[in-house]
Amino acid sequence: MDQTIMLAYEWPYLLTLLPSEARMDETAREMGALLRKRNVKRSSDLLRLCLAYGFCEMTFREAAAWAEMAGVANLSDVALMKRVRSSEKWLGWLVGAKLAERTPPPPSQTPRRLRLFDATGVSGPGAEGTEWRVHLGFDLSNLAIDDVELTDARGGESLTRFVFRPGEIAVADRGYAHRRGLHRVRRQGAHFLVRMNWQNVPLTDRAGGAFDLMEFLRGLPEASAGERDVLVASSARDGFEALPARLVAVRKSEPAAEAARRKAMQEAARKGRAIDPRTLESAGYVMALTSLDAEAMGGGEALDVYRFRWQIELAFKRLKSLLRLGALPARDPPLARAVLYAKLLAALLLDDFTDRFLAFSPWGYRLAVATAMSVADSARAP
């Protein structure tokens, strides 16, 4: 869908997916986005302006000209820049409001809801490295984003950034295999399934004794998974008790193992450091750590479930290819955050718009319940 067409012709339908105009006006005032209504009368008009710049990637001059032609607002490009810049927190609130709609009700029974977690780097104009990082939670059952956090480049990958519900299974890659995050998942009644390296999660046996990871890996059978009950080691310094877990691993094929070893050596050479022999040896295996017992999820099943993590990679690819999430037109922090929130909000709106179009045939969107009920009551009246 052409973004400008969406803002011009689909806007009334997109507004049905957002909080009420009164609620948006109230929060826009509270968060400093719409303190004065000169030139921009309504919060919905302000949102269209933010999306024109952040989502449709118009320049400020183009967006100001489009707004005047469309009858949305009459203001200069500099005034528009100031409006968008001051809308950063409000746009973040709108993203949060959309995500809150996707939070399922408290379960009466413990479901196996799979949630995937990952992060991606975002750069500003002319930047060579990551300046911002977008952290996402992804509900696999709905193939939809259900959590977002935006940080600067120093914000590392961690499961401590997210909130979990009892019975959920958090699936994440090696960057999330750290004790603090794993403990947070378990404290909230959820389970984890994370890939791990040989060194990032200290393990002991179930009695608290030494656990030789390399010996376990060397004893794995060919072409089938092996598993061992372990403990994530306690840490008196950080206040972490030992955490029961299960290590599941499988031996890679020789071509896959060789490719992983070559990549590890290239990475070590790039950073100018000697490679640990254990890194080369463990490159021949895939290791996953889970808090689920064998009855709840077998070793082979755990590795198969982990493969679904690719879905969040696809979500990032869609965001970067369709919404150009990876590149920003601004480096000013408030303006850059406003653009990122505008893009994420647009992604959530497009998801919901598509779902409703498919679900509510033939006109493609849900009427207000009160309106539908009044029509039905009128039809029944004598």
pLDDT at 104: 67
Contact 225, 250 (CB under 8 A): yes
pLDDT-based confidence at 372, cuts 50/70/90? very low
Other CB atoms within 10 Å distance of the CB of residue 364:
14
Give the pLDDT confidence of 164-190 residue by residue, as tens digits: 999 999 999 999 999 999 999 999 999
Give the pLDDT confidence of 318-334 residue by residue, as tens digits: 888 878 887 788 888 89
Other CB atoms within 10 Å distance of the CB of residue 86:
19
Has residue 25 got a pLDDT over 90? Answer: yes
pLDDT at 358: 46
Contact 18, 346 (CB under 8 A): no
Positive or negative, the Cα torsion across 116, 96, 149, 316? positive
Give the pLDDT confidence of 104-149 residue by residue, as tens digits: 665 555 557 899 999 999 887 877 778 899 999 999 888 888 899 9
Residues 112, 109: Cα–Cα separation, whole Å:
10
pLDDT at 38: 80
Please report which helix (H) or strand (E) contains residue 323, including its range: none
158: left (phi over 0), alpha (psi -120 to 50) or beta: beta
pLDDT at 176: 96
Has residue 298 got a pLDDT over 60? Answer: yes
pLDDT at 367: 52
pLDDT-based confidence at 360, cuts 50/70/90? very low
Please report which helix (H) or strand (E) contains residue 342, including its range: helix 333-359
pLDDT at 250: 94
Has residue 368 got a pLDDT over 60? Answer: no
pLDDT (mean) for 310-316:
88
| Phi, psi at 228, each rounded to 5° | -150, 135
pLDDT (mean) for 350-371:
57
The edge-to-edge listing of strands for the beta sheet with 144-152 is 144-152, 132-139, 114-122, 169-172, 191-195, 285-290, 243-251, 226-232, 203-204
Give the pLDDT confidence of 138-172 residue by residue, as tens digits: 998 888 888 999 999 899 999 999 999 999 999 99
* Encoded tokens for 81: 């820049």
Within 31-180, strands assigned E span 114-122, 132-139, 144-152, 169-172
pLDDT at 369: 45
Q: Are strands 191-195 and 285-290 parallel, antiparallel or unpaired?
A: antiparallel
Does this model's pTM top 0.85? My answer is no
* Encoded tokens for 225: 């998974």
Within the chain, strands assigned E span 114-122, 132-139, 144-152, 169-172, 191-195, 203-204, 226-232, 243-251, 285-290
DSSP states of 221-266: PTTS-EEEEEEEPPBTTTTBPPEEEEEEEEEPPHHHHHHHHHHHHH
Other CB atoms within 10 Å distance of the CB of residue 359:
10
| Exposed/middle/buried for residue 105 (C-beta within 10 Å: 0-12, 13-18, 19+) | exposed
* Encoded tokens for 160: 């401590």
pLDDT at 374: 40
C-alpha closest to that of 225 among 311, 307, 112: 307
* Encoded tokens for 48: 């269209």
Q: What percent of the chain is helix, strand and coil (3-state, nearest 5)? A: 45, 15, 35
* DSSP reduced 3-state for 109: coil
